[in-house]
Structures are given as structure tokens and as C-alpha cells.
Structure 1
Amino acid sequence: MPKVTVLMPVYNAEKYLREAIDSILNQSFTDFEFLIIDDGSTDSSLDIINSYTDDRIRLVINDQNMGIGATLNKGIELASSDLIARMDADDISLPDRLEKQYTYLEAHPECSLLSSNVEVISETGERLYLYQRDSKLFYFNLTFYCWIYHPSVMYKRRHVIDAGMYPSTFSEDYRLWSKLIRKYLIHNLDDILIKYRITNQSVSNSVLAEEYRATAIEQTKENLRYFVGENYTIPDDWLEAYRNHFDPLCNPPRVKDMASCINELDVITPHILKKDNINRDENSIKLAAKMKKEHLLKSFLKKIPTKDKVPLLIQTGNFNQLAKFLSSWSSNKLKDLF
């Protein structure tokens, strides 16, 4: 039995597929099966897969297109190993990815899901930015949006099954992680182990983006109800801001709502602190909440006119920052006079 199953769904991925496959077959860690499930491709994806003779590849072909969630669940059921590493057909795993993740999980058997930092690349492979996040901030921030890049994870099959596996909706990864962390420990490696490719076909760039957004928002609402109470509600515009979409509150500027959105974290955070959870660490949650409030304020201040900055700082109680702003503003005004 292999120590790891690498699970990769494929659907019309001919453009980047060979690079993705090669990145797995050339791993420093070699004791794995490479479970590739073709979900009804109509391009040359199957021909590309069949051109390989590596006996670690195990190809399964769906009779019809099932969609990503159902295909992943099928892969989980077929996997030979309890450790499953996710892979997407347009991404690149760095050569030591499997080795570093397997080594960590062997040394930390209490961990159920292990993700990593990633390098986000363009269609042509150029670096766009590095996605680097501190593992201790994940638990708090996963309440609001998906901090985890799906193809960066290695997880325990039996725990994912216990959590209910993937839903059939969009945002299937976020919905699964939200259930998984309620029972099992997660961690993120500081290492960059994946090159994650943004393409025109990526959900966030496609005609399905709005449906994906709506599903993710619904999961955020569910997470907040889990922590705060089943009748808890806040405006969708606040939820969008928590997910780093600031325009709904900033165009035009709605200072009162911005302040309320920031201050509401002081209501939510104590509930997260009180909820019993294997991932709960009081200091990490408080730090993550503090950083999120600071990020919200900074982002709002960047987007609103000068006349709105003072009331926002007052309504959020940031008086030290207000004093600095007024001092800087006064100095600049004086300079303009001479």
C-alpha cells in the first residue's frame, strides 16, 4: 500500500496538464499512487495522461461529467492511502512538496490537514505574488473566508469522510474545511510548496464567479451562526468586507457601516474564544482578531475621501491614529501656504 495518494481531477486541462503531472512524478518522495480522475474531458487530456507509463499513475474515467465535488469524493473513496495530497491539473507541485508534508504529518499524528504557502503564477508561469500566511492565524480567519489554497493540502482520508466529504456546491473546499476544523487539528507550513496558476478558466475569473461568491458568503454566515448563535445575522456588505471585498461599503462611503463592521469583531471574537475546539488558542485568536481589525481600518482609509477619515477613526476608537492623522494633515496644510 502506498504511503500517500495524490488525487488530481482533470477536466479539459490539456494546456497545463503535462507540467502538472511531471511535477508529481518528479517528487523527491516516491512512495505514492497518483490517482487521476478524468471527468469527461473532450480535449486531448486523456491522450496526454495515457502517454505516461509510470506505474504509480492510476487513471479512472468518469462515464459522464460529475463536477469537482463528486469527482473528489469518488477519489477519496478509491484512494489506497489514508493520506491524500490534493493536486490540480493546472498547478505545479515543487519537488519536495510531498516529502515535507508527509514528514510533518508523520511527526505530528494529531494533525488532520496540512496546507502550505503558495506562489501564485500567471497563465504563462510568471510570479504574480506570494501567498504567505501564519498558521496560528488560520483558525480565526477561516471563519470568514477560505485561507487555504485547495491544491496545497494533504489530509487524512478518514477524517474528511467523518466530516462529510465535499459538498456538491461551489466553494467545496471552504465548506469542507469549515466542517473539518470543528473536530480536527489543522496546520499550515511556512514553506512554499505549490505554484498555483490563475487562468481565465479559474472560477474567480469565470462566469461562475458570482455563484462561487454567493456560496462562500453562505458558508461564512453558517460559520458565524456556529460560533455566535443560530439566529445571528449581519449585513452582507459587512461579510464582504470581512472577505476583503471593500467596495460595497466604500462606493459611496458609508462611514457608520464601516465602523460598525470593524467594531462587530469585538462581538464575534469572544464567541470564537468560548467555543471548545482542538484548534482554539486564546492568544492566536486575539492576535488574529486584532490584525483583522487593523486590516479593515487600513483598507477603508485607503478607499475613502479625507473628509470621511476623521469620523471613521473616531467611531472605531482609534484616537492615537486620529491624532497622528490630524498632525500630518495640519503639517501638509501649512506647507501648502508657503
Structure 2
Amino acid sequence: MNSYAPRTPRVSVIIPCYNLGQYLDDSVGSVLSQTFQDFEIVIVDDGSTDPATRALLADYDRPKTRVMHASHGGVSAARNLAIASTTGAYLCALDADDRLEPTYFEKAVRLLDGDPAVAFVSCWLRAFGDEEWEWKPERCDLPALLWEDTVLTASLMRREAIVAVGGYDTEMPVQGAEDWDLWLTLVARGYRGAILREVLFNYRRREGSLSTVSWNGSGHLSLASYRVAKHAESYRAYLIDVLLHQDAETSALLRQNDEIERYNASELEPAVALRREELAALQSRLASITPKVRELEAALGAVSAEVTALRTSASWRITGPLREAYGWWLRRRGAR
């Protein structure tokens, strides 16, 4: 039984969950730890097939939290379902494996309350898990968004703006980058966003996540083609800005590549050559020593065989009492 009681909160947190039950408590816990507490949490089980996730969500009991179950339709459909089932004036689309810093809602709500012209509030983030880095974008205007997604997935958004543009696009060719598409749509229609210059979000990097597919995996080209075609008017209007940015990015990469090549030629290659020379010298010494080692091993084997033969001989057994008496005499002599 969920402990959620119907109410009208300021913030509705929507969390799609597809086979991510192992991370869900961390995500929900980061919401429950917010200094701003006027919120509801709606988790959409997006047709999970993982037994552990299904068992967890079958009776998930957390404060201010309820669970909805749906057939698997993808993250966009799950978010739209949650949006339609919530009432908060502000929305936060939190992924089931990410975490918020405790003051995120407090600071984002303050900004939205103070400036009605702002439709969504993002922030800086810190990556954790398989990778560790920080992401600190400065702009979220249309030219910036055309060349890069500079807005957090879990940005705090005005419900009225999201509803006005039709929510998340469910027609994308593969899952991933659906939030980028949403920000482009919002800003192209005149809505404005803002970025809090503070790390208030923790972004989990893991193998197999949707972001790895949409950024670097097989879905990248199809998503890029879809985005450019859908937002063709905006790309045409800001083509020069986009090309100049891409040229600057390419130039920066080429400079970095040149630095790496020069370092390789001046430092790494000489070091490798030196180590190869050292290895060759050691191998030469080893080759000269090996015959001597084998000779010693053969001599040792021969001596060992003689000792074994002696100790198994009849004379060794016959003289055994004499050796014991001689040993006793030596011990007595040493004791005086």
C-alpha cells in the first residue's frame, strides 16, 4: 500500500522506471531529502521485465509517492503519462538512476517564482559511476541548443509551457535525447530558460544507459537526422552560428590532437625506443646466461642422483649404526 495521499503540490516529480529498480531508492531518496518539501512523486513502471524491479514496484511504499503501471512505451510516453496524472505547477522529469542535491528545488522554485518569463530552470551537474566529470554550460538560448543540449533532463519546468508544446515527442526513431528535443521546441516557440551556476544534480554514467546510445551508440545518427529535420527552420535561421560553433569545436579538437601527436613524437616514442633497447640488452644477457644455468642444473641433477643412490645402497644401511654412534659422540664432545 502506497502512503501517498492526494493533494495539490507545487512540484510534481515524474520518474519513469524501466528495469532500474536497483537505483530507484537513491533517486527517490534525493527528492525526499529536498529542503523544499511541497512536492509529489509519481513513478511510472514502463513495463519493466526485470523481476527485482517488478517486485519492488508492486508494493513501493515511500512518502509522497505513488506508482503507475503501463505497458512498455518508452521514456517519452511514460513521462507524458505521468504529466497527465499530476497536478503540480512545476514539473521535474527525474531519471530513476540519477540524484538531486538537497537545495535544488528550493533554488529552482525561487527563480521560477521570481521571474514569470522563465519557463524552465537547469543547473550544473556532476557525473558519477563509470565516469567522473562536471558539466557547466553557460547558455540555453536557441543557438546554443541547436549545437548542444545544454539543459538538464531534470530541469524544473512550468507545466503550462510543457502542455502548450504537447509534452515529450513519442515519435523519435530511438529512445534518447527526447529532453533535448523538448528544450528546442520550447525555446523556438519563445519560451526562455535559465541555468543555475551551481552543481545541484548528480548524473549517473553507466553502460547501456539511454544517453550512451543517443550520444555515442547506434542511435546517434538517426536521432541527429530526426532533430535537424524536425527543427529545420531553426537550423536554417541560425546556420551560421551553428557552423561557426562547430568550426570552433573542430579547431579545438585538432589543436588537442596536434598536442597529443607532438607529445607522442617528443616524449613517448623516445621512451618506448629506450625501453626496447633495454629489453634487447636483457634478452641478450639472458641468452648468454641460459647455457651456464643449464650446465649447473645438469650437474646438480647428477649429484642429487648420486646422493639418492648412496642413501639407498646396502652399505649405507649397514653403516647406519656407526653413523648414529659417531653423531652421538660429536654431540657429547660439543656439550663438554
Give TM-score scaled by structure 1 length. 0.66
Structure 1 position 42, deviation (Å): 2.5
Residue equivalent to 2:165: 163
Structure 1 position 142, deviation (Å): 0.5
Structure 1 position 95, deviation (Å): 0.9
Structure 1 position 77, deviation (Å): 1.0
Count of residue correspondences: 248
Structure 1 position 227, deviation (Å): 4.6
Q: Check the 8 A contact 1:121/1:197 in 2, yes or no.
A: yes
Residue equivalent to 2:231: 223
Residue equivalent to 1:41: 48
Looking at secondary structure, tell me which structure has more helix per residue.
2
Residue equivalent to 2:137: 133
Residue equivalent to 2:149: 146
TM alignment of 1:205-284, pairs within 5 A = 205-206=212-213, 209-228=217-236, 268-269=240-241
Residue equivalent to 1:298: 252
Distance in 1 between the 2:21 and 2:102 partners? Answer: 22
Distance in 2 between the 1:9 and 1:304 partners? Answer: 43
Structure 1 position 26, deviation (Å): 1.3
Structure 1 position 193, deviation (Å): 1.1
Distance in 2 between the 1:301 and 1:224 partners? Answer: 31
Residue equivalent to 2:12: 5
Structure 1 position 14, deviation (Å): 2.0
**Secondary structure of the residue that 1:143 maps to in structure 2?**
helix
Please, what is the CA RMSD of the aligned residues? 2.9
Closer, same or farther in 2 for the Cα pair 1:99/1:61, shift >3 Å?
same
Structure 2 unaligned spans of 5+: 1-7, 262-336
Residue equivalent to 1:198: 205
Residue equivalent to 1:83: 90
Structure 1 position 305, deviation (Å): 9.6
Structure 1 unaligned spans of 5+: 230-264, 273-288, 308-338
Mapped pair 1:176 → 2:178: no
Distance in 1 between the 2:91 and 2:163 partners? Answer: 12
Residue equivalent to 2:196: 189
Distance in 1 between the 2:58 and 2:113 partners? Answer: 33
Letter in 2 for 1:299: L
Closer, same or farther in 2 for the Cα pair 1:100/1:306, shift >3 Å?
closer
Report which stretch shifted further, 202-211 or 177-186: 202-211
Structure 1 position 131, deviation (Å): 0.3
Give TM-score scaled by structure 2 length. 0.66
Letter in 2 for 1:161: V
Closer, same or farther in 2 for the Cα pair 1:30/1:18, shift >3 Å?
same
Structure of higher CA gyration radius: 2
What CA deviation, in whole Å up to 9, does each residue of 1:108-166 have, x standing for no partner? 1110011111001114xxx610001113x643221123222312x11011111211211
Identity %: 23
Letter in 1 for 2:152: Y
Distance in 2 between the 1:143 and 1:33 partners? Answer: 33
